Amino acid sequence: MRPIYRLGYLLSNFFAKFYFHRTVIHPEKLAVPGGCLVVANHTSFIDPPMIGSAFPEAIHYMARKTLFSNAFARWAYLGANAIPVDQERPEIGTIKKILRLVKEGQKVLIFPEGERTFDGKLKEKGAPGIGMLIAKSKMPVLPVHLYGAYEAFPRGASFPKPARLTLVVGDLLDLNHLLENSGLSGKELYQALSDQAMQAIGNLKLPESEIAIDA
């Protein structure tokens, strides 16, 4: 891990344990051999550190290009393995970098919804650009679902409040069957792949034991 990443990793795990009491369901599934795309729901600014710090290794993140607005921010975000992305017009260089990372055995966290939700609920449709990454990489997809982040730090909040977080980890997906047998191409194929990823995220439910604790 890079020094900045390691510092953020340690701090994130500290807050995850003592402030958010984060629980990880099926943590063994995070130890994926080789590269993959990690797909997750997106409700809060704390999603990347609370998901990334659960992994036993450093992963990479997609972050809005506007966050890299000054030299210090750029240095810090790049040191934390963030990849600047233009949400309006994704650049070919960014796409190539993500594809290169996963093919080199790295893990990249992406949010098929494209932005934080306003109500904490998972959107029905994913962004087709995420499907394009899945199609171009032909790499496995790991779905995860983070619960409690919206309650802790929703849009408009100025500071995160204590709230129990639960990260549910799913099984590794191989979506190459859609590439080979769906008969779809172009944007229709990308949308189908993104929707499959969204469905996998939505299927990850809180265990009854966690629901009872939250209640």
| CA–CA dist 117, 115 (Å, integer) | 6
The percent of the chain in helix, strand and coil, each rounded to the nearest 5, is 45, 15, 40
Q: Which of 36, 56, 191 is nearest to 99 (CA)?
A: 36
Q: Count the neighbouring beta carbons within 10 Å of the beta carbon of residue 135.
A: 21
Strand-pairing partners, residue 24, are 167
Q: Which of 42, 60, 145, 177 is catalytic?
A: 42
| CA–CA dist 55, 122 (Å, integer) | 23
42 an active-site residue? Answer: yes
- The residues annotated as belonging to the active site are 42
